[in-house]
Amino acid sequence: MKTNSEILNLIRQLESLSTGEPWYGESLLQKLEQIGPEEAFAVPLPGIHAIAQVVSHIIVWRRVLVEKIKGNLDFRIGINSAEDWPPVSVLREKGWEQILTELAESQQEITAALSSRTDSFLDEVYSESYTYRFLIEAILQHDVYHIGQIGLLSSVIKATK
C-alpha cells in the first residue's frame, strides 16, 4: 500500500514555517509582514546581506528543491553566485512586493510538486548519496535559519535608524 503520510507531514512543516504558527515563534510571513521596502533593501553594514537578498536566496533554494522534485536533476545554482545572492540594485528594481509574491509562489510550487508523491519518493536518491528526504529537510532547516537571520537584520536596521 502506497502512503503519503510522511510527505503530508513535510508539507505541513513547510507551511507552518512559511505562513503558519511554528513552534519556535514567528513564521516567515509573520516576520516579513513587519518589514517595509526601505528596511528590506537596507544594508545594515558593509558586506552584510539586505533582508531582500536573504528572501531572494530562500526563493532560489526552494526553486532548486522544486526542480529536483520535478526530475530536473541537472538544475544547479552556483553557491554565492549573483543568482544565489542577487545585488540589492537588481532586487530594488524588482520591488519588495514582487519578491514577496515570488516567495508565496515558491511555497505553492513546493506543495504542488510534493502533493502527488508517495512516501517512497522520499528515500529515492537524486544525486550521489542524497535523497529527496534529505533535500526537503535541508530546505526546512535553511528556511528556519534565515528566518532568524531576518529577525536579527531587522533588529539591527531598526536600532540604527
Domain that holds residue 149: 5-159
Residues (pLDDT < 50) of the chain are none
Q: For residue range 137-146, list pLDDT tens digits in order.
A: 999 999 999 9
- Tens-digit pLDDT profile for residues 100-112: 999 999 999 999 9
Grid coordinates in use for 100? Answer: 514577496
SS3 125: strand
Select from 2, 146, 126, 128 the least CA-distant residue to 65.
126
Q: Is 85 helix (H, G, I), strand (E, B) or coil?
A: coil
pLDDT at res. 127: 83
Q: What is the pTM of this model?
A: 0.95
Report the domain count for the chain: 1
At a CB cut-off of 8 Å and minimum separation 6, what does 19 contact?
27, 28, 29, 107
**What CATH number does the domain containing 84 carry?**
1.20.120.450
